[in-house]
Structure 1
Amino acid sequence: MASEADDDEAAVVVGISDHMWLIQCKRERAIGPKKLLQYLDEIKLGENEKLHGIIFTAACDFSKAARDLFRDRCIQMGLQEWHIWGKGEVEDRLFRPENDGLLFAYFGVSLTIRRRSQRADLRSKLAMKRKANRLLGPKEHGSVLLRSPDALQYPYSAEIHNFERLPPWYVRRYVGLSHDGLKFSLHRHFAFLSDDGKSWDAMLCCHDATRLHDDPWTPEVNSPHVKRAEAWRIWNELPEQNKAWLDIEGIVPFDTVLDIDELGDECFSAPHAYVPFDGAHSKAFSRVLKAAPHSTVVASGSQTLRATRVERQSAHDGKHRDPRPDAPSRATTHIRSNAH
């Protein structure tokens, strides 16, 4: 059985083989080469103490000259290891996974929690994207009711003050998926495109973004059917090469779509998309395209779009019909807004 003296001797042997490190931390805005050497010269050791290594860290950056002098002085002092950590090195180490606990304890930031939050947000967006593709994909270019979850008066529009200007729900044509959300047609106007394909004009008195018979909340005063018939008559008299459509579309972000009711109800049997908004487009759409002078279309957030891409398609494909029952099918020019 080992004696108490043997234990003490073993402890001394272990202590002799240990390496002694010195760690100095400084909270200074700047430490130059001269001051750095001064800190090293001020290190005092006991009679039988031998310094193995040093870690010198400060909340500032060190110049190359300071780092070179630090290395040379450590060699002169007979140190086996030396490290100098400036602001950049400390931040790099804090953001390592093994130091996430320290980062959260001292700064309230956790990369692990942040990644979990990002993963949850991404899963939510992708889930809504898949759901929209499943429920609205077969009804592309059909009407959808964009509806605020706070609209408790639904479907009685007469109970809402200024419903025509700031409606808490309205019918729009679903265009399809975009990279950042659901794309809806906000306005579609009869337009004129010049022969050079650059200048254009549009009749904003009425729009074809929604089939009028699909919207039960269309006002009966100043019937839009009459306006559209007159606008179509004027537009139809244009030369074929100058006929065009001006499409203005908006994007509803995936993360703002609360849910989609594909069944509808007795007032509107097509799908309902629940989106928080107060009637203004800026609340429901992340990107809203609006007509502006000089043949441009300006998106919210100062992004500029120009009507430069021209495609040929049927003007009367069942979605935008001539009010005359015997009207022939015509080919027309379709203006699309493309970002630059």
Structure 2
Amino acid sequence: MSITRTINPIHFEDLEPHRFEDLIRQLIYDFKDWKSIEATGRLGSDDGIDILAIENYFVKTSDDEESEYFDEERVWIIQCKREQNISPKKIETIIRNDIGKQTEIPFGYILASSSNFSKKSRDIFKLTLNELGVKEFYIYGKAEIEDLLFQPKYDHLLFAYFGISLQKRKRSLKSNLMARLTTKRKLTKVIGGIDAVDYQTVFIKPSEQFDYPKIHDDKNLAWRFYETACYQPADCISVYAKKYLAYVNWETGEWDMIENFDIAFRRYPNIWSLDEKFYDKYDKHLSEAYEKWNLVEPNNQAFHIELKAIHFDRIVLVDEIGDAYHEPPHIVVDYINGSPFENKNHIILRGTSPHQFLKPEEEKRIKYFK
């Protein structure tokens, strides 16, 4: 069964400082209508400024219909700090240093950092830029940058810088879900619907069947017939993996079972190439088990059932045609450690009436069958 995965925090600290600057520059390409964006930090002539950008802003000369527009160039400073922690005092120092070296106050200012900013840091950021007369400003901490990178339009940057593609994961997830739905539709069509699958005979076999249909070991059959039980747990079909004749006191919960014979193994249809001696022995044990069970009061007769599930992801094929050796339908499964089933099982005691059942408690087992 597939495991649900989440995305861990992005490791900005793994980026070289100039690569972090490149990332921020590419993230802000469509933030404004830029006339130019210069990576001044990479040129070595930045005066401490990493990115200098010029915004195209068209201003209307008046409110008249015949008024004209002119292009006002707005200067923006973008400062990038790939640091784990920036104190409020350091933020104020960075801003005053950046703006103090300019001949004119820039229109806009952006501070981007791989650290998370506290409320005090954000307050100092706003207060300082307001005091210096900067008109528009933004602060981007680790959380804000991650939010941007997780947007579909920036998926190419997320992959280029960190090797993660959410869109690829979504496509993969969608493909997996569609594959499960296809399997479920085929099962319900061939075997039975959600409420009509109980006690339907299926032949389960591995996807790798090197010697099929020849059998070498009748004690550990790689393929055999099972009876289906339900479509539970989610995205699974469960079968009666083991089934024993049992006694139950429904009032006290006391129970016992004839555990030397598993009646979940189907007598018919026969498994091709299985020795007739196997079935002779089967018939003998089946008869002995029912002789004991028929002595139980009808109201106390029950079945000790072990349900095991096959996840849809492990079903390679639902074959409604079958073959000349075993009649349909076949479920071809990707076996793990020689088994088609998930690790968990579900055990119940069920009466001769399907609505009469309980979960057996080991401490309430008695010695009823001698």
Classify the TM-score, shorter chain: 0.7 to 0.9
State which of 301, 324, 327 in structure 2 corresponds to 1:243.
301
What letter is aligned with 1:273? I
Describe the shift of the 1:336–1:218 C-alpha distance in structure 2 as closer, same or farther (beyond 3 A).
farther
Contact 2:230 2:239 in 1 (8 A): yes
1:104 paired to 2:159:
yes
Deviation at 1:49, TM superposition (A): 2.5
Residue deviations 1:90-118 (CA, integer Å, cap 9, x gap): 10111112212211211222222222222
1:188 paired to 2:210:
no
1:142 match: 200
**Alignment: residue pair count:** 286
Residue deviations 1:60-99 (CA, integer Å, cap 9, x gap): 1111111111111111111111111111111011111221
What letter is aligned with 1:220? K
Alignment of 1:258-273 (within 5 A): 258-273=316-331
What letter is aligned with 1:147? K
In the alignment, the residues of structure 1 paired with residue 109 and residue 94 of structure 2 have an alpha-carbon distance, to the nearest angstrom, of 12
1:57 match: 112
Describe the shift of the 1:47–1:236 C-alpha distance in structure 2 as closer, same or farther (beyond 3 A).
closer
In the alignment, the residues of structure 2 paired with residue 255 and residue 47 of structure 1 have an alpha-carbon distance, to the nearest angstrom, of 62
Query: SS where residue 228 of structure 1 aligns?
Result: helix
Describe the shift of the 1:205–1:197 C-alpha distance in structure 2 as closer, same or farther (beyond 3 A).
same
1:213 paired to 2:268:
yes
1:27 paired to 2:82:
yes
Describe the shift of the 1:104–1:168 C-alpha distance in structure 2 as closer, same or farther (beyond 3 A).
same
1:120 match: 175
1:201 match: 256
Deviation at 1:26, TM superposition (A): 0.8
Stretch deviating more after TM superposition (46-55 or 78-87): 46-55
Contact 2:247 2:301 in 1 (8 A): yes
Describe the shift of the 1:66–1:88 C-alpha distance in structure 2 as closer, same or farther (beyond 3 A).
same
In the alignment, the residues of structure 1 paired with residue 351 and residue 300 of structure 2 have an alpha-carbon distance, to the nearest angstrom, of 13
Percent of pairs identical after alignment?
A: 27
RMSD: 2.8
**Structure 2 length as normaliser, TM-score?**
0.70
1:69 match: 124
Stretch deviating more after TM superposition (191-200 or 229-238): 191-200
Describe the shift of the 1:242–1:311 C-alpha distance in structure 2 as closer, same or farther (beyond 3 A).
closer
Contact 2:302 2:352 in 1 (8 A): no
In the alignment, the residues of structure 2 paired with residue 16 and residue 131 of structure 1 have an alpha-carbon distance, to the nearest angstrom, of 64
In the alignment, the residues of structure 1 paired with residue 133 and residue 97 of structure 2 have an alpha-carbon distance, to the nearest angstrom, of 15
What letter is aligned with 1:226? K
Deviation at 1:220, TM superposition (A): 2.4
Alignment of 1:311-330 (within 5 A): 313=353
State which of 34, 43, 63 in structure 1 corresponds to 2:98.
43
2:342 match: 286
**Structure 1 length as normaliser, TM-score?**
0.75
In the alignment, the residues of structure 2 paired with residue 337 and residue 56 of structure 1 have an alpha-carbon distance, to the nearest angstrom, of 62
2:33 match: none
Structure 1 residues without counterparts, runs of 5 or longer: 1-12, 291-296, 298-306, 315-332
What letter is aligned with 2:79? Q
Deviation at 1:53, TM superposition (A): 1.4
Contact 1:52 1:81 in 2 (8 A): yes
2:22 match: none
1:175 paired to 2:229:
yes
In the alignment, the residues of structure 2 paired with residue 278 and residue 118 of structure 1 have an alpha-carbon distance, to the nearest angstrom, of 22
Describe the shift of the 1:27–1:15 C-alpha distance in structure 2 as closer, same or farther (beyond 3 A).
farther
In the alignment, the residues of structure 2 paired with residue 334 and residue 210 of structure 1 have an alpha-carbon distance, to the nearest angstrom, of 23
Contact 1:143 1:210 in 2 (8 A): no
2:215 match: 157
In the alignment, the residues of structure 1 paired with residue 275 and residue 199 of structure 2 have an alpha-carbon distance, to the nearest angstrom, of 19
In the alignment, the residues of structure 1 paired with residue 96 and residue 276 of structure 2 have an alpha-carbon distance, to the nearest angstrom, of 88
Residue deviations 1:107-146 (CA, integer Å, cap 9, x gap): 2222222222222111111111111111111875232111
Residue deviations 1:227-268 (CA, integer Å, cap 9, x gap): 121111112212233211112111111121111222222321
Residue deviations 1:275-328 (CA, integer Å, cap 9, x gap): 1216743xx1225426xxxxxx4xxxxxxxxx47x66528xxxxxxxxxxxxxx
In the alignment, the residues of structure 2 paired with residue 122 and residue 94 of structure 1 have an alpha-carbon distance, to the nearest angstrom, of 25
Deviation at 1:201, TM superposition (A): 2.3
Stretch deviating more after TM superposition (44-53 or 270-279): 44-53
What letter is aligned with 2:333? V
1:86 paired to 2:141:
yes
Query: SS where residue 213 of structure 1 aligns?
Result: coil
